[in-house]
Amino acid sequence: MDALLPITCAADVPGKYRGTPLSLLVEYQNHLRAHDAYTSAQILVGMCMDNRKALDVPENFAYILRTGGANMRASGFKISYAISVGGVRHIAIVGHNHCGMVNLMQRKEAFILGLVEGAGWNREKAENHFLNLVPMFEIGNEIDFVLSEVRRLRAEYPKITIAPLLYKIEDNNLCFIND
C-alpha cells in the first residue's frame, strides 16, 4: 500500500489538491479541521455502499453517491447533474480496503444461497443473476479500480478536478492514492 499518501496534517495534502474541496474532505474526515458552514455542495463524493464507512463532513458540503466498490459506471447522469445543476467542480472517488466487491467469484455460492434463502428466489434465477452482473461489479484490486475510475471520469469531464482516495476501515481516515 505504498501507493497511499496518509494525511496527518493539511501540509500532507498533495499540492494539486491543496486549497480545494478535495483537501477539505480529507481534513474533515481525518479530524484535522472543524466543520465550516455551507449553503451548497462543494464536491461530489463517489464511494462504496459498505456500511462500515461514514463520512464526517458538514451539512450541505457534498453530494454523495454510494455504489458497490465506488463503481460509478452506472452513475453518469447523477455525476453530470451534480456538475451541471449543482455546480461542483471537484470529485473524490473513494474506495476502501477490505471491499466486498473484490474477488466476487469467491462469494458466488454465498450470494446464490443468500438470494434463495433470504429473498425466495429459485437457484437458477439467483445463479443467472450473479453470473450476468458480476462482470459489471467485480472491481479486482481496490486501489487499481479507483485509479481506473478516476482516469475514466477525467476523460469524461476534463474540466473537473477528480482525485483518487482510499478509506481505511481500521481508523476511518482517508488517504490520497498516488496517481
Q: 76 with 33, same domain?
A: yes
By DSSP bridging, strand 4-6 and strand 173-177 are antiparallel
- Type and span of the H or E element at 4: strand 4-6
C-alpha separations of 114 from 49, 56, 80, 131 in Å: 18, 32, 35, 15
- Which are the contacts of 151, defined by CB distance < 8 A and separation ≥ 6? none
Mean predicted confidence (pLDDT) in 107-122? 97
Q: 88 with 110, same domain?
A: no
At 40 the pLDDT is: 97
Q: 89 with 132, same domain?
A: no
At 2 the pLDDT is: 74
Q: 79 with 150, same domain?
A: yes
Q: 66 with 126, same domain?
A: no
Q: Which of 26, 14, 34 is nearest to 173 (CA)?
A: 26
Q: Tell me which residue range forms the domain holding 19.
A: 4-102+140-177
pLDDT tens digits, one per residue of 133-171 = 999 999 989 999 999 999 999 999 999 999 999 999 999
Q: 74 with 95, same domain?
A: yes
Q: 42 with 121, same domain?
A: no
Q: 128 with 95, same domain?
A: no
At 161 the pLDDT is: 98
C-alpha distance across the termini of the chain, in Å = 13
Q: 80 with 30, same domain?
A: yes
Residue labelled with grid coordinates 462469494: 107
Residue 128 pLDDT > 70: yes
Q: 88 with 147, same domain?
A: yes
Mean predicted confidence (pLDDT) in 40-52? 95
- Which are the contacts of 163, defined by CB distance < 8 A and separation ≥ 6? 17, 22, 90, 91, 92, 93, 150, 176
Enter the pTM of the model.
0.94
| Total count of domains within the chain | 2
pLDDT tens digits, one per residue of 57-112 = 999 999 999 999 999 999 999 999 999 999 999 999 999 999 999 999 999 999 99
- Which are the contacts of 18, defined by CB distance < 8 A and separation ≥ 6? 10
Mean predicted confidence (pLDDT) in 13-31? 98
CA distance 47 to 166: 9
